[in-house]
Amino acid sequence: MTKWTASDIVDQSGRTFVVTGANSGLGEVAARALAKAGAHVVLACRNTHKGEVVARSIGDNAEVRRLDLSDLASVREFAAGVDSVDVLVNNAGVMAVPQRKTADGFEMQIGTNHLGHFALTGLLLGKITDRVATMSSAAHQAGTIHLDDLNWEHRKYNRWSAYGQSKLANLLFTYELQRRLAAAGSPVTAVAAHPGYASTNLQAHTESVQDKLMAVGNRIFAQSAEMGALPMLFAATAPGVIGGSYIGPDGLFEQRGHPKVVGSNKKSRDEQTAKGLWSLSEDLTGVEYRFG
């Protein structure tokens, strides 16, 4: 059977994609592939200088708009400037950073990876025509949602546990969003993806000796960013992708390979936790979703 690649992306002419974190890494690769397929791509970046460099190299199909997911004021400003979008690609994220807070007082990883994207999706939902694709990670397997201490105010901070919590939140959010969209009879679908072990600059910002260790791992074990972006590109563009799907690599332990539908753990399918996280996320962000 032929393996799906970026060359299999169907014609996206006339369609608009918003890709968060598109100034580097998997987001940049995805933006380039989408633009090559004819889409108009909005590079939603905190670092607009880097974004402009990427956009100029892509050409007329790309534009840059500032978005800082760790600042809800920036999220609201960005969303207000978007008229219509076919596909929202929630790609940006931080990984295993030291303990610090967002502009709104959230723990940085849950604040950026989940709450920022939760707010962005809610603010754009009435303008989205096709689907919401959100990047999770195999690290969701190590995550636990603490609804009574989502922002690590009462526990000793652990950077990797915080990352796992944020990636588990991405899946709980995706599955709950799909349930709510389906219940409302919406044509919009929600899907998720993970890149396996892909070599990107995400592994270079832990501000610890782990940066050097992961740099070695990137050179020896990781697949390319081009391969790592394929599950998200498939989730965002492939016709017939079922809402609530989770797409990852087809290789051993889902670490590398071409896109396929994969499974996620029991915690990610806990509907009570998903509802609790949804309610808490609306309270924390002040963004209330409206369906129908």
Which are the contacts of 74, defined by CB distance < 8 A and separation ≥ 6?
Answer: 66, 67, 68, 103
| CA atoms lying within 13 Å on the CB side of residue 208 | 11
Q: Which residue has the tokens 């498939």?
A: 234
Residue 29 pairs with which residues in a beta bridge? none
C-alpha to C-alpha distance for 49 and 82, rounded to whole angstroms: 20
Return the structure tokens found at 142.
């190590």
Catalytic residue among 157, 163, 197, 289: 163
- Dump the DSSP string for 137-172: -GGGGG----TTSTTSSSS---HHHHHHHHHHHHHH
Closest CA to 130 of 159, 87, 70, 175: 87
C-alpha to C-alpha distance for 143 and 145, rounded to whole angstroms: 7
Return the structure tokens found at 139.
């690290």
Q: Is 163 a catalytic residue?
A: yes
In angstroms, what CA-CA distances link 91 with 69, 170, 199?
Answer: 11, 11, 15
C-alpha to C-alpha distance for 265 and 260, rounded to whole angstroms: 16
Residues recognised as catalytic: 163
